[in-house]
Amino acid sequence: MQSLTWIEIIGGISFQLLPVWIALILTFGFSNYYKRRLGLYGKLFDSTIGMIGFAIVMFWVFSGIFAGIFDWIITHDPLHQVSGMKNKLPGTPMRGAEEGEYPYYLFGGDHLARDVFSRMIAGGTVVILIAPLATLFAFMVGITLGLPAGYYGKRLDTNLSFLANLILAFPVILLFYLLVTPEIRATGLPQYLTVVLFAFPLIFIAVLINSRFQTTPTARNIYLTLALFIVGWTYISVINQPESKITLFNSIDLFDIDGGLLTVFVAVVFVNSPTVFRIVRGLTMDIKTRDYVAAAQTRGEGAWYIMLWEILPNARGPLIVDFCLRIGYTTILLGTLGFFGLGLEPESPNWGATINGGRKLLSIHPTPAIVPSVALVSLVLGLNLLADGLREESLRD
C-alpha cells in the first residue's frame, strides 16, 4: 500500500471523528432551539466567542466519551507498538495489518512505534477525566470554607485566610511537584490529604440538603440518607486503596483508582482550593450586605440557608467563569507534570508525556510533538473563549 496524501489523511481523520461531529450538531441544534429556557447556558449561544469556545471544549468532551467509553474513534491501542512503525510519517501504511485492523497510522508513529493519532485522542480522555472533576472538588472545598469565612468574619475568617495564604505562598508548580514525587507518595501524605479533602463533598451535600429542607424534617431525613449513602460509599471506595495505609471497609470497596492518578487528582484539588476559597470569601463579604440577605435574616432563615441559597446563587456568574478558566489552568498543569514524567504513569498517553517523547526529534520528525501540543493549546483556548463568553453574558444577566 502507498502512503496517504494529506487530503486523504484529513478525510480519514474526519471519518474517524464522525460520532463527534454528529454529537456536536445535535448538541448545538437542541441547545439553540431551547436556548430561551436554558438560562445562562442558553444565553451563551448569543455570544460568538462563547459558541466557538463551547464547540472546541465539547469536541474534546465528546472525543473523550466516544474514545474512552465506546472505543469508537481511536484506530489502534495507544500503548501498542508495531514493528517497523517507529518515527513513521503521517499516513504511513501499517506493516502486517490484520483483517479488520485500521491499515494506517494517520498521524504517523512516535519514537516507540505507537500511533500518534490514537495517543492524542486517548490523552484528551485523560484530561477530560481529571481536570473538570478535580476542579469541581476544589470548588466544593473552597465554597464550604469560603462562605462561612466571608459571612461570619472575625476569628474564623482570620484563621482560614491564614491557612489559605500559607498554601498560596508556595509557588504552584513547585508545590505540585512536591505532592506528586515518588518520595512524598511513599510517606502516605497524598492518601491522608485524600481523606481530608474528599470529605468536603460529603459535608457540602449534607449542609446543602439540611439547609434546604430544614422545615420538612421527613423529606430532609430521606434525602440526607440517600445522598450520604451514595456519596459516602463512593468516598470510602476512593480513600480505601490497596497500596495505601488505610485498609478500612475492604469488603465494600466499589473500585480502585490508580495511585498516580489519585495523587494528581488530590494535588489539583489541594492547589486550587485556596484560590477558590479567596474568591468565594470576597464575593460573600460583598453580597452579604445586600437587601435580600437582610430580608432573609429578618424572616429568621438559618445562616447556612442564607449562604447556600441566597448568597451562592448570586455569586454564580464569577464562579462559573473562574471554573472554566481553572480547568484550563489544570490542563496546563497536567501537561507540565506529564512532560516531566511526574504523577501519571510513564506509559500513560497524556499530552505532556507525548510532547516530551517527541521533542528530541522535533527538527526531523515534528508530528509526534506538534499534534499533542496543538491539542493541548486548542482545549485551553476553548476554555478561555468559553469563559469570556460566559463572563460577557453573566454581566448582562
- pLDDT tens-digit map of 137-151: 999 999 999 999 999
Q: Per residue, what are the HEC states of 334-385?
A: HHHHHHCCCCCCCCCCCHHHHHHHHHHHCCCCCHHHHHHHHHHHHHHHHHHH
Residues 256 and 165 in one domain: yes
Please indicate, yes or no, if residue 354 is contained in any of the structural domains: no
Query: Distance between CA atoms of 239 and 241, rounded to whole angstroms?
Result: 6
> In terms of domains, do 58 and 137 share one?
no
Rg over CA atoms, the chain: 24
pLDDT digit string, tens, across residues 30-77: 888 888 887 777 888 888 888 999 999 999 999 988 988 888 888 888
Rounded distance, CA 261 to CA 130, Å? Answer: 8
| Dihedral pair phi/psi, residue 346, rounded to 5° | -60, -35
> Residue 245: its pLDDT value, please?
45
Could you tell me what percentage of the chain is helix, strand and coil, using 3-state DSSP and rounding each to the nearest 5?
75, 0, 25
Same-domain check for residues 113 and 146: no
In a domain, 238, yes or no: yes
* Residue 109 and residue 210 share a domain: no
Local confidence band at 232 (pLDDT 50, 70, 90 cut-offs): confident
Claim to verify: residue 59 and residue 130 sit in the same structural domain: no
Does residue 60 fall inside a structural domain?
yes
Does one domain contain both 57 and 75? yes
151 domain residue, yes or no: yes
3-state secondary structure of 92: strand
Query: Is residue 347 a part of any domain in this protein?
Result: no
Q: What is the mean pLDDT of residues 84-94?
A: 84
**Cβ-contact 259, 243 below 8 angstroms:** yes
The dihedral over CA atoms of 191, 196, 199, 203, expressed in degrees to the nearest 10, equals 180
What's the predicted TM-score (pTM) here? 0.86
Q: Is residue 344 part of a domain?
A: no
Q: Are 201 and 137 in contact (CB under 8 A)?
A: yes
Q: What is the mean pLDDT of residues 107-135?
A: 87
Q: Select from 262, 277, 95 the least CA-distant residue to 190.
A: 262
Helix (H, G, I), strand (E, B) or coil at 115: strand
Same domain, 264 and 157: yes
Residues 137, 117 share a domain: no
199 and 108 fall within a common domain: no
In terms of domains, do 284 and 178 share one? yes
Assigned domain for 320 exists: yes
314-360 pLDDT, tens digit per residue, is 888 889 889 988 998 888 888 888 887 776 776 778 888 888 888 87
- The answer to whether residue 357 is domain-embedded is no
Domain that holds residue 224: 125-327
Shared-domain flag, residues 142 and 261:
yes
Domains identified in the chain, total number: 2
Distances (CA, A) of 12 to 2, 84, 105, 117, 187: 15, 22, 10, 11, 48
Is the distance from CB of 350 to CB of 123 less than 8 angstroms?
yes
